[in-house]
Amino acid sequence: MFKPLLFILATIYVAHGKHEEYDGHSLYQVRVENAEQVDQLMNVVERFLLDVWTYAQPEQDGLILVSKELKPMFEEELKSIGVQFAIDTENIKQKLDLEDQLLANASIAEAGRMQRGLSFNVIHRYAVVDKYLSDLARQYSNVQVASGGKSVEGRDIKYLRISSNNFQSSNKPVVVIQSLLHAREWVTLPVTLYAIHKLVIDVTEQDLVRDIDWVIIPIANPDGYEFTHTRTRMWRKNRRTGMGLCIGVDLNRNFDFAWGTASSNQACSDTFHGPRAFSEPETQMTRDIINRYRSRIGLFIDVHSFGSLILYGYGNRQLPPHSNTLQQVAVEMAKRIDAVKWPANRNYRVGNIAQVLYQASGGCSDFAQARIGNKLSYTYELPAHRNLNNMNGFLVDPAFIRQAGYETWEGIKFAARYVVKNRNLYFENE
Ligand SMILES: *[C@@H]1O[C@H](CO)[C@@H](O)[C@H](O)[C@H]1NC(C)=O
């Protein structure tokens, strides 16, 4: 356990210029041949507490971020277990600086432009989104802003309720969409903001507001999100303290579904599940929303990045009884997105989370699925967009922000309308 201590000291002493803590960090592409190598690689990852961007599988190369200090040891380990590797990005700090410049330029370009609502040229900070949600509630009678409580650091976790009749029709399906449960997954924010835009400001499809009530949570992890802007771009967890040297709980391992069975019990790990299920105010907020609307939720979507995936439960490989429906609707959503996606991005893949990605416990969409029974719960993994400036993984090219919102909305709309069309299966008529 020497590594976390070294890491923290290093962070304290080098945090002068922006992204200095990432200077010399390399992004490795790794290729595994079989399940044994997958396990051996995971063992290395856990021992060195490495930052995994993509989990390696025999049919899918992995991406792992490694600090300058750990690179020699990491390469030795890979050689000894026979895992092939190549360097994808030599110094990730340069990519982080480029992301800053691109976003700064985009923000200068949009200054002074007349805008209805928030723009889709930049990634908006917490305070901007927070004010926007309250402004919308003041300006539009079908919009209410609610606070789901306060984050660990005391920020309001606000969400919108959008309804043509104040949630009064008990047989009208509710769709819940959430983004930024993981702090660094910036490109997920435009998805919820785009949905809000199309449901409130630029309404072109009336059936969506007439037939559905919406609950939209744009920033589920506000403390972690702000921390990725002010300090550590690749922060994933919340900002829980008081657990020793390391900070943060992985909120997407903290929900009460098979909690603690496929996640980390080390506070320093990026997949630390917390002291107990629902130990965190941020997960309690989503839990309370799910429980409050449980009988009416037809569709729940937790938006993450990255990998171009639509995933359903459960993270322990067990399939819900209606997994055929989950699969079929996911395939149709993927088709709608693929039809309008940018050509350089891969097609979406769909499937059970444990089969497509890895086993994971305490996940948000698993908890939602268990609570809403035979209705639809998904985790989206948005594309890693690599056009133009070759921005990879979690990094955002401003050129892709509007597209991310637009194309994902094509998928979400399909499932929302599927729920309306099949409401007799799900909801009793009044
Ligand atoms: C940002 O804008 C400046 C001024 O137009 C330009 O010189 C620079 O190349 C731009 N940066 C990027 C990363 O595009």
Residue nearest atom 1 in ligand 1 by C-alpha distance: 105
Asked if 66 and 28 touch (Cβ cutoff 8 Å), the reply is yes
| Structural element, H or E, at residue 352 | strand 349-352
Burial of 283 (0-12, 13-18, 19+ CB in 10 A): buried
| Active-site annotation holds for 381 | yes
Percent of the chain with pLDDT over 70: 94
pLDDT at residue 111 in the model: 76
More confident residue, 116 or 412: 412
Beta bridge partners of 85: 30
Q: For residues 124, 404, 309 and 421, what is the CA-based torsion angle, rounded to 10 degrees?
A: 110
Asked if 317 and 352 touch (Cβ cutoff 8 Å), the reply is yes
- Which is it for the CA torsion 92, 98, 102, 107, positive or negative? positive
Residue nearest atom 12 in ligand 1 by C-alpha distance: 102
**pLDDT, tens digit, for every residue of 10-55?**
444 444 579 999 999 999 999 999 999 999 999 999 999 999 999 9
Q: Which of 21, 99, 282, 381 is catalytic?
A: 381
Asked if 194 and 408 touch (Cβ cutoff 8 Å), the reply is yes
Q: Which atom of ligand 1 has the smallest separation from the CA of 101?
A: 13
- Give me the chain's average pLDDT, please: 93
Say if ligand 1 is within 6 A of residue 105 CB: yes
CA 25 to chain CA centroid, Å, is 23
Distance 23 CA to ligand 1 centre (A): 22
Output phi, psi for 166, to 5 deg.
55, 40
**pLDDT, tens digit, for every residue of 216-259?**
999 999 999 999 999 999 999 999 999 889 999 999 999 999 99
pTM given for the model: 0.94
Residue nearest atom 2 in ligand 1 by C-alpha distance: 105
Q: Rounded to whole angstroms, how far apart are CA atoms 429 and 238?
A: 41
pLDDT at residue 114 in the model: 67
